[in-house]
Structure 1
Amino acid sequence: MFGVQTPARRRSRDDGEKPFWISFSDLMTALMVLFLVALSVALLAVTKQVSEAEREEKQRTEQISALMREIRRMASQFDGVSVIGTTIDFGPRGRFEREGQNTLSEPQRALLRQFSPLLIEQLRTTEAGKNWFKRATVEGYASRSGKYLFNLNLSLERSERVLCELLRDPGHDEAALSFADRTLVATRFFVGGASFNSLRATADDSRRIEIKLEFKSRQERKDDAAPTEPAADDGALQQALDPKERCPLTDR
């Protein structure tokens, strides 16, 4: 009357587990692929950053080298003036005639009036000047004669004397620097006092003036390009360019 019931076939333990293990294996494979893709992208990004940094550094080096070659060419037109690295050495023509003296002779003043506009034009208009020029430090030197503090002050005065000459009131003097050149001097030229820390073979050669050019690093250029708070006023610049301003040094 009743059919014979066949007992249900029990699923094998392996049949139940196989799909799980296959899915887990696929998942691990997918994760490994994602990891390799992410690693490749990260490596490409790092490589790109390194390549960009190398490109910028190469561009910086080439532009500065081109600027210094032009400055050396300019200096060669003036007897006694030479360029060593990024330092402009006026040689015998920049030598102070007497110990303890901070004044420039008329030929020395004429040399500054002739050479400085050419230099400043390069710093103001070339790619290296616009992109990388940081500052120019006018270094005054003294011989070992005299006391240390006296020589230190004398070095500062000799450096300041050069800036006084560059920033002097143009008046009706056609040889004076232009307003644009004087603005660059007032904002980018600084006084340095090296005293007798860089002596030459003789005391006469030690009493000299040099202009050292400094250039920005890539990071410094990026920092300068970042937006900053505007200056409260340009009073300091106006004072430096005030035609009534007189050099505070006394001749001695």
Structure 2
Amino acid sequence: MLGPKIVIKRGRKEEAEKPFWISFSDMMTALMVLFLVVMAVALLSIPKKVLETEDGSRAHQRKIAEVLDKLAEAAKRYPGIVVDKERGAINFGPRARFDFGKWQLDPAKETVLREFTPEILTLANDEVGKSVLKRVVVEGYTDRKGTYLANLNLSLLRSQRVLCALFADSGSSLLTDEQKEEVRRLFFVGGYSFNASKESDEESRRVEMRLEFLALGETRPEPPAGEVSIGECALR
């Protein structure tokens, strides 16, 4: 005797074989959306960085202008000394001029140099000065008379003579040992010939101290390690 027929239903074949992973086109769409989001964030960050750089540059220039303004104000207390803000140079004018063909300075002129140098050091060591001032270059100039090489050598001797005056151990308004050490670390010697002469020969035979400023993000270089004796001036 046959019993009732039992029928077992099976799922449709297409349901059993339904793929688990997303399609290739869906994956590419998601990657494209992610790429667009990343690019949008990057593009939005660029203007911010540009603005920050511009703001930093303007602030840096304001600090430089502040140093030059303070220096010009200090120079008013010393008749004859002029600060050229455009060049960042201190011209001592008739207060420190050389005689024709000479690199020596008389005691009165050396005293003027020593009296004004502490004004520079004070500005160089305050908060603003430390952030923008790199160094001070002492420049001795000549007139147009004589040969180029002779005048080049003379200008170097004049620059060196100015440093000798600052390191002097005798005379008026002498710098302290601490100030001399600051001069040694901050001041450099530069020499120029008649290619930077003034209108008259007398005005050309002058002394200038030119301020060099740090670039944005740059820091003042540290002095070489080890103590170096100042020694004695070789010019007499």
* TM-score strictly above 0.5: yes
Find out whether 1:247 has 2:233 as its counterpart.
yes
Q: Tell me the distance in 2 between the aligned counterparts of 1:246 and 1:213.
A: 26
CA deviation after TM superposition for structure 1 residue 211, in Å: 0.6
Q: Tell me the distance in 2 between the aligned counterparts of 1:83 and 1:145.
A: 27
CA deviation after TM superposition for structure 1 residue 103, in Å: 1.3
Q: Tell me the distance in 1 between the aligned counterparts of 2:114 and 2:12.
A: 109
**1:81 alignment counterpart:** 81
**2:49 alignment counterpart:** 49
Counterpart of 1:51, as a letter, is L
Contact 1:109 1:165 in 2 (8 A): yes
**1:198 alignment counterpart:** 196
Find out whether 1:66 has 2:59 as its counterpart.
no
- CA distance change for structure 1 residues 55 and 24 in 2, over 3 Å: closer, same or farther? same
**1:105 alignment counterpart:** 106
Counterpart of 2:226, as a letter, is D
- CA distance change for structure 1 residues 35 and 162 in 2, over 3 Å: closer, same or farther? same
Structure 2 counterpart SS, 1:108: helix
Contact 1:75 1:82 in 2 (8 A): yes
**Percent of paired sites with the same residue:** 40
Find out whether 1:183 has 2:184 as its counterpart.
no
- CA distance change for structure 1 residues 153 and 174 in 2, over 3 Å: closer, same or farther? closer
Q: Tell me the distance in 2 between the aligned counterparts of 1:162 and 1:110.
A: 11
CA deviation after TM superposition for structure 1 residue 48, in Å: 3.8
Q: Tell me the distance in 1 between the aligned counterparts of 2:172 and 2:209.
A: 24
Contact 1:60 1:128 in 2 (8 A): no
Q: Tell me the distance in 1 between the aligned counterparts of 2:102 and 2:66.
A: 37
What are the ranges of 5 or more consecutive residues in structure 2 without an aligned counterpart? none
Structure 2 counterpart SS, 1:190: strand
- CA distance change for structure 1 residues 231 and 69 in 2, over 3 Å: closer, same or farther? closer
CA deviation after TM superposition for structure 1 residue 232, in Å: 4.8
Name the TM-score, length of structure 2 as normaliser.
0.83
**1:117 alignment counterpart:** 118
Q: Tell me the distance in 1 between the aligned counterparts of 2:12 and 2:117.
A: 103
Contact 2:197 2:204 in 1 (8 A): yes
What are the equivalent positions in structure 2 for 1:169-180 lying under 5 Å apart? 169=169, 175-180=173-178
Q: CA RMSD in A?
A: 3.0
Contact 1:121 1:181 in 2 (8 A): no
CA deviation after TM superposition for structure 1 residue 189, in Å: 0.7
Q: Tell me the distance in 1 between the aligned counterparts of 2:157 and 2:108.
A: 19
- CA distance change for structure 1 residues 119 and 206 in 2, over 3 Å: closer, same or farther? same
- CA distance change for structure 1 residues 232 and 136 in 2, over 3 Å: closer, same or farther? closer
**2:93 alignment counterpart:** 91
Structure 1 counterpart SS, 2:143: coil
Residue-by-residue CA offset, 1:170-210 (whole Å, 9 max, x unaligned): 6xx67211233211210121111101111111111110011
Contact 1:80 1:91 in 2 (8 A): yes
**1:233 alignment counterpart:** 226
Structure 2 counterpart SS, 1:142: coil
Name the TM-score, length of structure 1 as normaliser.
0.78
CA deviation after TM superposition for structure 1 residue 138, in Å: 0.7
Q: Tell me the distance in 1 between the aligned counterparts of 2:221 and 2:148.
A: 38
What are the ranges of 5 or more consecutive residues in structure 1 without an aligned counterpart? none
**1:161 alignment counterpart:** 161
What are the equivalent positions in structure 2 for 1:122-161 lying under 5 Å apart? 122-125=123-126, 127-161=127-161
Counterpart of 2:121, as a letter, is I
Q: Tell me the distance in 2 between the aligned counterparts of 1:247 and 1:9.
A: 106
Higher relative helix content: 1
Structure 1 counterpart SS, 2:190: strand
- CA distance change for structure 1 residues 53 and 224 in 2, over 3 Å: closer, same or farther? farther
